Amino acid sequence: MFQVAAIQITPILGDIQANLKRGIQFMRQLGQEADLIVFPELWTTGYYLSRQAFQQLAETRDGPSINQLREEARRAKAVVISSFAEKDSENQLFISAAIIDQKGEILGVVRKSLLWGRESEIFKKGEIKYPIFETEQAKIGVLICYEMEFPEPSRLLALEGVELIICPSVWSVSASRRWDIQLPARALDNTVFILGVNTVGNNSCGKSKLVGPMGDILAEASDAREEVLLRAVDIQSLYWARDENRYLEDYRTKLTPGGSTIPTPII
């Protein structure tokens, strides 16, 4: 059993320092109560910015924002997952997420591989790779917002043995119904936990939620205000769910594009 915290926040557009200050306040209010702390997509910069603004605000993975969060992860003794606008050595922009362990070390950085709408005019697509990060609490995968709207990334993670999928998002009010359908669907189809962490305000629907491996909503935040959603996860219940619904055990790899190139299910 471990505690996950979704920090649902309303970013101030273009003000990294103000957003970091607010996010860290939420972290420190938790003390050392949470084992895993997750922020929404692009929460340090805000989402609705121009390419020029992102070019000015983007940081490398060892930039000041991530380094500050590494210190806070050590303080909280928690794994921290934080999305950010990443700039590489060639000044290419990515929507990324850093996975930081409780010692403040970066376990990895993932780049969003499927871009929604105008994102493709600003950012470069990341590779179609969905790694699993082994933490003390669970085997974790990260899908950023639009990646959750496709069945295949979640399935590929499940076939690799993921137990908890994290989804940092900026999910709009108009797409709220999809948020309510797709997260539980991905959890149930793959018998995994899913933690969707959304922004709120600025046309985002909020409703950050923890979904269990039977597709049930275990906890959900407001659709209208900032909030820290804290909930215990019993990872052993995932294996009970897989005994009840043997989707992965009965799965045939030919059902997924890629056929023999994808892994045999790990259950």
The 10s digit of each residue's pLDDT in 154-174 is 999 999 999 999 999 999 999
pLDDT digits (tens, 9 = 90+) for 12-68: 999 999 999 999 999 999 999 999 999 999 999 999 999 999 999 999 999 999 999
Please give the full DSSP string across the chain, using - where no structure is assigned. Answer: -EEEEEEE--PPTT-HHHHHHHHHHHHHHHTT--SEEE--TTTTT-SS--HHHHHHH-B-TTSHHHHHHHHHHHHHTSEEEEEEEEE-TT--EEEEEEEE-TTS-EEEEEE--S--GGGGGT-PPPPS----EE-SS-EEEE--GGGGGSHHHHHHHHHTT-SEEEEEE--BSTTHHHHHHHHHHHHHHHT-EEEEEE-EETTEE---EEE-TTS-EEEE--SSS-EEEEEEE-THHHHHHHHH--TTTS--GGGSTTGGGSPPP--
Q: What is the token pair recorded at 6?
A: 């979704």
- The number of angstroms, rounded, from the C-alpha of 203 to the middle of its chain's C-alpha atoms is 19
pLDDT digits (tens, 9 = 90+) for 112-134: 999 999 999 999 999 999 999 99
Residue 145 has pLDDT above 60, yes or no: yes
Looking at the domain assignment, is residue 66 inside a domain? yes
Residue 265 has pLDDT above 90, yes or no: no
Model confidence at 258, pLDDT cuts 50, 70, 90, reads low
Instruction: Please provide residue 227's backbone torsions phi and psi, each rounded to the nearest 5 degrees.
Output: -165, 150
Greater model confidence, 227 or 265? 227
Residue 256 has pLDDT above 90, yes or no: no
Residue 262 has pLDDT above 80, yes or no: no
What pLDDT, on the 0 to 100 scale, is given for residue 252? 84
Residue 267 has pLDDT above 70, yes or no: no
Interhelix angle 176-190/151-159, rounded to 10 degrees, is 30
What pLDDT, on the 0 to 100 scale, is given for residue 254? 75
Average pLDDT of the chain to the nearest whole number: 95
Looking at the domain assignment, is residue 18 inside a domain? yes
> Domain tally for the chain?
1
Q: What number of other Cβ atoms are within 10 A of residue 212's Cβ?
A: 21
- The number of angstroms, rounded, from the C-alpha of 76 to the middle of its chain's C-alpha atoms is 19
Looking at the domain assignment, is residue 129 inside a domain? yes
- The domain in which residue 22 lies consists of 2-244
pLDDT digits (tens, 9 = 90+) for 184-213: 999 999 999 999 999 999 999 999 999 999
Looking at the domain assignment, is residue 250 inside a domain? no
Looking at the domain assignment, is residue 225 inside a domain? yes
237 close to 191: Cβ distance less than 8 angstroms: no
Longest dimension (CA), the chain: 51
Looking at the domain assignment, is residue 262 inside a domain? no
96-100 mean pLDDT? 98
209 close to 222: Cβ distance less than 8 angstroms: no
The CA distance from 161 to 147, in Å, is 18
What pLDDT, on the 0 to 100 scale, is given for residue 23? 98
Residue 255 has pLDDT above 80, yes or no: no
Q: Is 87 exposed, middle or buried (0-12, 13-18, 19+ CB in 10 A)?
A: buried
Model pTM score: 0.95
216-228 mean pLDDT? 98
Question: CATH no. for residue 12?
Answer: 3.60.110.10
Q: Percent of the chain beyond pLDDT 70?
A: 96
The CA distance from 109 to 70, in Å, is 13
Looking at the domain assignment, is residue 260 inside a domain? no
Looking at the domain assignment, is residue 114 inside a domain? yes
Q: Percent of the chain beyond pLDDT 90?
A: 94
